[in-house]
Structure formats: C-alpha cells, structure tokens
Structure 1
Amino acid sequence: MIGGMDRGHRAVPHTADVRIEAWAPDREGCLAEAVAALVQTFVDTTGAHPDGETTVELPADRDEDLLVGILDEVIFRLETEGTVPLATEAQPSADGLRVRWHTVDTDAVELVGAVPKAVSLHELRFAGTDSGWRCAVTVDV
C-alpha cells in the first residue's frame, strides 16, 4: 500500500536517469526504504550476506537534506570503499540522523544496472502525511 502503513519502494521510469520512490509509516523507515530502492537499481543482493557494519551521523536542518545526505553517502561509500548496504537502520539524533548499515563488498553482489553518480535536487520530494512518509528522488547515473 503506497502511502499507507506498509513499507516499500520502487523504481519508476525516468529519461536517462533513475527515479526512486519510497514510503513507510515513519521518516526513518522511509529513508531506509529509499536506500534499499537505490541499491536495487544497480545491484542484485540476492543471497548476499553482510560482511561489515558502518555507522554514519548525518546532520541536517531539513528532512530533504537527510534524504539527499543518506543517498549521497551510499554513493560515496560505493565509490571509495566498494561497499553497499544490505540493511539500513536509521534513528533521529541531536544533529540529524544516525544511520547504521550492514554492508557487503561489491565483489559479492551482481551489477544489474547503471551505477549511481549523484542525487538530483530537481523534483525531490520528502514529506510526512496523515498516512505516513513518502519520498521521490531522481538519481543521476
């Protein structure tokens, strides 16, 4: 159920880029779903098991900054460490968000799509409603 109490995510068609949507009952769940959506656009994690763990503090004044920050961090770690998150746990912190990832090396997963390069601010949406949180973002590939 999109926008309801269920959690989920999907990729939607977009010219030359990747557009992802995510939803969950709470902000942190929606952010975790957005990470899962991003990862699934370029790797198949079926059968992969975490071999690492990373904790990141993301400062932000606005919810949209958290969405961009968490996805940018996934792209940064992909480029610099060769890792992708298999599971995301996010909790509010005094300055923004504390994120814990259970990660796997990219050698342990299969590339199935274009590798993300950056998060676009164009048509970025992230907001809470009476029925939960939703986000939509375009990722440059």
Structure 2
Amino acid sequence: MVDLPGTAGGGLEAVMAERPAAGHRSVPHTADVRIEAWAPSRERCVVEAVAATVGNFAEVSGVLPTASVRFRAGPGPDADLLVAVLDEVVYLIDTAGRLPVAAQVEAGDGSLDVRLAMVDADRVELVGAVPKGVSLHELWFGREGAGWSCSVTIDV
C-alpha cells in the first residue's frame, strides 16, 4: 500500500528542478481547487492525484484506516480512468462520510484496480472545502518525459 505523500509548493521552475520522482501540489485557481500530480508510472500518478485531492481538504497524515474499499475503474482512456477514480473518492466522501488515507492502484485489462484505505471523516481534521466533483475542463493526464503527470480541477 502506498501512503498519500505530500509535496511543498513553490515556483514552477523550482518544482521542475527539485521535484521528487513522485508527488503532487495544488496550484492557484479562481473558485475551485486545481491539483497537479506526477510519478514514474500511470498508476502511481493516480495515487498522487488521490493524495492531492484529499490533502486539499483534510489532514490525514498519521491517521490509521478503519476500512477499505476496492473497485475497478474502466476500461477506458487514461484520462477517463483518472476521472473515474477521483469521482469514486468524491462519491465515497459524500455518501459514506469516509475518505482515503492511503491508496493502491494496479493496472487491469484496460482498467485500474483500486484499493482505498478509508477512515471516517469525523476522525480527521478538515482544513478546506470538501470536494463536490471532478471537472473535465482543462483535464490533462498522460506521459511526461520518463513518467506520467496529470492536472485536474476539483469542484468544491
């Protein structure tokens, strides 16, 4: 299982020059939350996007999971798979009152097999607006250099 790591913000040049092999950050956006994530693999990039989504509204470091959820996203194009995973995270927060503290993503046959380690929302400190959806506007997910990156707007 991969813990949901965080990265520090900064100027784009500093991030590109010093960013770790995998990570995520929030970038300024007028009304919603814009996240960027990157990693050596497509699956790890999705894990980072989940971490960025959750990290924008909850402090989950050190919180132990109390349940897990498994689901399959896809099959479909890579960007659709990313949206499907993030949509499921938002759905679980909204309907079950639970959010992921860790994620594992594995490639399936044109799909993604996802396992989320979950905790009840009342067990974490909320630090921002809870997400309401994933926007398709200016969505990006694909190869970048030797790895993968994505950029997503989260509706709050």
Task: Verify same fold: TM over 0.5.
Answer: yes
Query: Matched residues in 2 for 1:109 and 1:119: separation?
Result: 22
CA contact (8 A) 1:2 1:23 kept: no
**Residue 141 of structure 2 corresponds to which residue in structure 1?**
126
CA contact (8 A) 1:2 1:8 kept: no
Cα distance change on mapping 1:8 and 1:2 into 2, 3 Å: farther
For 2:22, the aligned partner's letter is R
SS in 2 for 1:79: helix
- Of the three residues 36, 39, 44, the one matched with 2:51 is 36
Q: Report % sequence identity.
A: 50
**Residue 11 of structure 2 corresponds to which residue in structure 1?**
none
SS in 1 for 2:43: helix
CA contact (8 A) 1:72 1:118 kept: yes
**Residue 72 of structure 1 corresponds to which residue in structure 2?**
87
SS in 2 for 1:87: strand
User: Would you say 1:61 and 2:71 are equivalent positions?
Assistant: no
**Residue 110 of structure 1 corresponds to which residue in structure 2?**
125
Cα distance change on mapping 1:2 and 1:104 into 2, 3 Å: farther
Query: Matched residues in 1 for 2:152 and 2:26: separation?
Result: 10
Q: CA deviation at 1:45?
A: 1.1
CA contact (8 A) 1:5 1:25 kept: no
Q: CA deviation at 1:2?
A: 4.4
Q: CA deviation at 1:47?
A: 3.0
Q: Which runs of 5+ in 2 are unaligned?
A: 1-14
Query: Matched residues in 1 for 2:93 and 2:69: separation?
Result: 13
Q: CA deviation at 1:93?
A: 1.1
Q: CA RMSD in A?
A: 1.5
Query: Matched residues in 2 for 1:61 and 1:74: separation?
Result: 18
- In the TM superposition, structure 1's runs of 4+ consecutive aligned residues that sit over 6 Å from their partners are none
SS in 2 for 1:137: strand
**Alignment coverage as a number of residue pairs:** 141
Q: CA deviation at 1:130?
A: 2.9
Q: CA deviation at 1:66?
A: 0.8
For 2:126, the aligned partner's letter is L
**Residue 139 of structure 1 corresponds to which residue in structure 2?**
154
Q: Which runs of 5+ in 1 are unaligned?
A: none
CA contact (8 A) 1:19 1:136 kept: yes
TM-score of the pair, normalised by structure 1: 0.94
Residue deviations 1:50-90 (CA, integer Å, cap 9, x gap): 11111111113200001100100000000111111111100
